[in-house]
Copies of this chain bind each other. A is one copy, B any other.
Amino acid sequence: MAKLNENFFKLKKNYLFIDIAKRIKAYTAAHPDAKLIRMGIGDVTQPLAPVVVDAMVNAAKEMGVKETFRGYEDSGAGYDFLRNAVSGYYKSFGADVDPAVIRISDGAKSDCGNIIDIFGSGNTVVVTDPAYPVYVDSNVMSGNEVVYANSTEENGFAAMPPKDIKADLIYLCSPNNPTGSVYTKAQLREWVDYALENNAVIIFDAAYEAFITDPDLPRSIYLIEGAKKCAIEICSLSKTAGFTGTRCGYTIVPDELVQKNSKGEDVKIADLWNRRQGSKFNGVSYPVQRAAEAVFTPEGQAQTKATIAYYQENARMIAKTCDELGIKYTGGINSPYIWLKSPNDMDSWAFFDYLLNEIQVVGTPGAGFGANGDGWFRLTAFSTHELTAEAMERFKKLFKK
């Protein structure tokens, strides 16, 4: 009789977005004519950039011609053309990342979930609260205990190192999902120092870096000196270039990131990750890698940045409405998320239902991201201008009455 991974039974019953989907389904079944505006799950709405589509089309055609057909990649770590392109992208905002330490994947969610495989049990895992549920869930599945660093209204929802805790693993996300807060260089400096003092490893989720417009804010943890000795960075093209349905991301494990094994020997963390991926992953679809490469061309950058500017305009619209209505919020600048305080001290699932029932606007209850998220609510800027404007009109009617 097979023994099961009983850690799965410790997981909360439903994955946040599945829970939301169920409530929406129930509502629309009861109200088939309702015009829902979805600002919940962080999915994008704008199409891929023309240069990206062209690259994918051309690569798909190459796959149909014997001379240009591609089978397995040698390493499964990503073609050099894409790893070089990602490295060049980092250079564009001042970070020096060797293409050889960049591994291409099918997305940040997979890498965030799978990276835990290379670590042992008994680690003290620090996760900011609230946070993207995958950090906690993947640790629960592995039987790890999670300790929380609090992101609260008081600290601008930017948790700082819990100095009384000796962390082994640390998850950070900046710009933050769900709170939209962005760490300054000084704040990241504190986290890197804290990690180095404890010999801890930071897993830095940079999925929203493309939304940073303030040149003083760090778009990579590797802009902080010493970070290569303590940090893994995971990023994605989902929000950078609308790849939520195209699927491509990358994870960086610097050669400088070394930890001791139980015998006191040095182990390069990159060797473990390469071995994990070498045995349990077989590379990303060639046409997808060509599409991703196109994102980093000058034309691709111009086109994808125009789309990001489009979403940023939505964020400004939401922020402006909150300002007018006196609703407290963080984010909205340098981030696609607006994290707002539920009016009248409603808990966040109650506020979710209230918005769904009263104005058919779907957001994400903050409680789904952790205890500190209760009473707070996430709206995304990834909708269209038209629907964002319409949602804000409905907000004004609802909260002015």
Report A's interface with B, CB cutoff 8 A: 1-6, 8-9, 11, 15, 18, 21, 41, 43-50, 52-53, 56-57, 60-61, 63-66, 69-74, 106-107, 109-110, 112-114, 117-123, 133-134, 137-138, 141, 168-169, 198-201, 242, 244-247, 259-262, 267, 272, 275-276, 278-288, 291
Contact = CB atoms under 8 A, between A and B. Distances in A.
Number of identical protomers? 2
Nearest to A43: B71
Contacts of A74: 21
B53 A61 contact: yes
Contacts of A109: 280-282
Nearest to A121: B3
A3 to B, nearest CB: 4
Contact of A72 (B43, B52, B113): B43
A1 B168 contact: yes
A191 to B, nearest CB: 15
Contact of A47 (B47, B64, B118): B64
A279 B141 contact: yes
Given A123-B3, A198-B1, A281 B45 contact: no
A3 B129 CA distance: 23
A24 to B, nearest CB: 10
Nearest to A122: B3
Contacts of A48: 63-64, 69
Nearest to A166: B1
A161 to B, nearest CB: 16
What 3 pairs between A and B have smallest CB-CB spacing? A113-B280, A53-B64, A3-B120
Contact of A15 (B57, B73, B245, B275): B275
